[in-house]
Structure 1
Amino acid sequence: MAEGDATKSAERTYTAAEKQLFRRRQELDYWKKNSLRIRSRNLVTGLCIGAFVVGMFSYTILSVKQERILDEIDDEARSQIIRGPRTGANS
């Protein structure tokens, strides 16, 4: 009879609330077990995104500065062309 009681308790059906509680407990255990790995992945992802943003910002600022320098060089070149070539007569 003791053997029959053991199979009855093993075959016990769980209620919906017990199943939900069991699933939530498993999920909580998963998050506790893997939280450090997930946090480190999030940190690496954040650093990569931050590095990309800083790189794009730096590149943009650098390219704008170069455009200004090129504009200044172009203005100087135009003024030299307007003045004409430097010779002994006009220097």
Structure 2
Amino acid sequence: MAAPGAGDPLNAKNGNAPFAQRIDPSREKLTPAQLQFMRQVQLAQWQKTLPQRRTRNIMTGLGIGALVLAIYEAKAARARALERERASGP
């Protein structure tokens, strides 16, 4: 069994894992090293999620474009059908 404070992920008393605490730089004075580390972690997260977000954005754009094109085509087809009906009418 690990010694207390030696990085044991579970609290022995209640079995709960500790939660990460958010750091608010405006309330707490951080050292330049801490700020640099926060920027480095944030950049790594952005680089990890950027390709996924880009793919989702492209797929969303294509989906919306296809929907708009389908609506336009349906409206144009209806207009052509009405023109044919008028042309062959009485």
Q: TM-score range with shorter-chain normalisation? A: 0.5 to 0.7
Taking structure 1 as the reference length, the TM-score comes to 0.55
Instruction: Report the TM-score, using the length of structure 2 for normalisation.
Output: 0.56
Q: Quote the Cα distance in structure 1 between the aligned partners of 2:68 and 2:35.
A: 43
Number of equivalenced pairs: 63
Seq. identity, %:
24
| Gap change, CA 1:53 and 1:16, over 3 Å in 2 | farther
CA RMSD of aligned residues (A): 2.4
Residue in structure 1 matched with residue 19 of structure 2 by the alignment: none
2:29, 2:37 → 1: CA distance?
10
- Structure 2 alignment gaps of length 5 or more: 1-27
Structure 1 regions of 5+ residues with no counterpart? 1-12, 79-91
Structure 2 Cα separation of the partners of residues 69 and 16 of structure 1:
76
Q: Partner of 1:52 in structure 2?
A: 67
